[in-house]
Structure 1
Amino acid sequence: MKIAIIGAGAIGGYVGVKLALAGEDLTFIVRGANLRAIRSNGMKLIMQDGTEHVASNVKATDSYSEAGVQDLVILALKAHQLDAVADEVGKLVGPDTAIVTMQNGIPYWYFHKHGGELEGRQVQTVDPTGTLAGKIPVDQVIGCVVYPASELIAPGVVRHIEGDRFPLGELDGSVSERVTRIADCFTNAGFKAPVLDNIRSEIWLKLWGNLTFNPISALTHSTLVDICQFPLTRALAANMMTEAQTIANKLGIEFRVTLDKRIAGAEKVGKHKTSMLQDVEAGRESEVDALVGSVVELGRLTDTPTPHIDTAYALVKLLDRTVADEAGQVRLQKAA
């Protein structure tokens, strides 16, 4: 299969190496130091056990036109980075191209083929101008939930931390030939890629934790186990999750695990820094709109009060702006 991955970061690099080593015709759409490193040395993946794999047979370019039309396009950027590439994605897309979205949070396409009174509604928080829906063909999108954790430790080098599961699903819940073919491709590369008949339910299950633990960790500089074992933040997390569950239920989503079990699962992860905390420490823009702001928006659409989520959203938005205005980073350091 001819596959282009936009972005060769933690997830894009991990997925790309595995697909390339499985024999797929893979192109990374990437810029800067990553582009130079991949062109010179291929893309390297370091697994949990220390074994190293190098995909030297991949192509890397910063030109969408040069890459040309693909069988599959994987959007491996963060949600707030999609707008910057939306105008170019069409150069990779033909009438039969599938597009797999690997963003966390509520996706821009959420209400497409959703049914009901909200069918086709634009999610303003993640696509305020309608650019994404207008430029990235929604009818060609396959939903995906990303469970693995990995990190880009140097240009062209990704370290896998844990996980290998990428559930996939058509937006209308059908089990199509194309989603089956993509699932088979992922499975052949060593991933677990079940085809789900309700990808939105899986999105909410992951989001349930992300919308809660990410902002709390970014604001407190604490890890998952710290948040879960400190009574006040554990209670805050439970309140935020309860608000989110009410919204999801009104949208027809039922969670297959209990709230307490979801918190316990986060606690078991241990001393793990969430992606939002890592962004704050590195001085990068966070995914707060897709992870938290979108849920606030859906709360308004469903007439659901979200006081705890609203508060966390306001605080992280201000932190994001302060980091950007000061061109700085916020990190705990040992006192002298």
Structure 2
Amino acid sequence: RNPHLIMFGEPDNSMSPRLLDLCDAVAAGGIEARPLERIRDKLWTKIIANTSTNPLSVITGATLEELYRPGELQDTVIAIKREVLLVAASYGARVEIDPLTFLELGASMGAIRTSMLQDYDKGRPLELAAIGDSVLELAARFHLPMPVTRKIIALARFRGEQRCNAKH
């Protein structure tokens, strides 16, 4: 199995000739390219995973294994996941991964530090606009409050700003 995979899709969910040609061209370069009818569903699955773990890892220093282990951190991951699922559903996405599988997959990744935690450790800016603020903005359009997500993003932002201020 090729470890390199890119999924592509059309905004209108069609399997257009353009989409299939793109996948063929990428595959010719040695990268598995998978055409999807409902690319937004896959995007929301990734958004849910990133939003529910990346900012929380900055606050706690926890690895994915620790975040998904039963307890307070897992409860927070689940709360954020539920909030982001509501946003996804509001935009018509069908996220098909069940909650138990989501947790098992996350825990099976092991002692991996999220990309945001790695950025924090290296004193780099945190990608909170892309990973958090964008989801909050989309939620606001449907008047979804997102209390847990909002708080965790705010705390991660505070930690990131503290780190940047300490460097200067």
Answer yes or no: same fold by TM over 0.5: yes
Instruction: State which of 24, 33, 46 in structure 2 corresponds to 1:193.
Output: 33
Partner secondary structure for residue 166 of structure 1: strand
Q: Establish whether residue 288 from structure 1 lines up as the match of residue 124 from structure 2.
A: no
Q: Establish whether residue 314 from structure 1 lines up as the match of residue 120 from structure 2.
A: no
Partner secondary structure for residue 195 of structure 1: strand
- Structure 2 gap ranges (5+): none
Number of aligned pairs?
A: 167
Residue deviations 1:117-138 (CA, integer Å, cap 9, x gap): xxxxxxxxxxxxxxxxxxxxxx
Structure number with higher relative contact order (C-alpha < 8 Å, ≥ 6 residues apart): 2
Residue deviations 1:52-73 (CA, integer Å, cap 9, x gap): xxxxxxxxxxxxxxxxxxxxxx
Greater fraction of residues in helix: 2
Distance 1:190 1:325 in 2: 43
Residue deviations 1:198-250 (CA, integer Å, cap 9, x gap): 22111101111110111111111111001111500000100000011111111
Instruction: State which of 125, 144, 161 in structure 2 corresponds to 1:304.
Output: 144
TM-score w.r.t. structure 2 length?
0.92
Partner secondary structure for residue 271 of structure 1: coil
Distance 1:170 1:292 in 2: 24
Partner of residue 260, structure 1 = 100
- Structure 1 gap ranges (5+): 1-161, 329-336
Greater fraction of residues in strand: 1
Instruction: State which of 2, 11, 18 in structure 2 corresponds to 1:178.
Output: 18
Instruction: State which of 74, 84, 90 in structure 2 corresponds to 1:250.
Output: 90
Partner of residue 205, structure 1 = 45
Identity rate of aligned residues, in percent? Answer: 26
Residue deviations 1:226-276 (CA, integer Å, cap 9, x gap): 111150000010000001111111111111111221121010000101000
Residue type of the alignment partner of 2:85: Q
Larger Cα Rg: Structure 1 or Structure 2?
Answer: 1
Post-superposition offset of 1:314: 0.5
Residue type of the alignment partner of 1:296: L
Two-structure CA RMSD over aligned residues (Å):
1.6
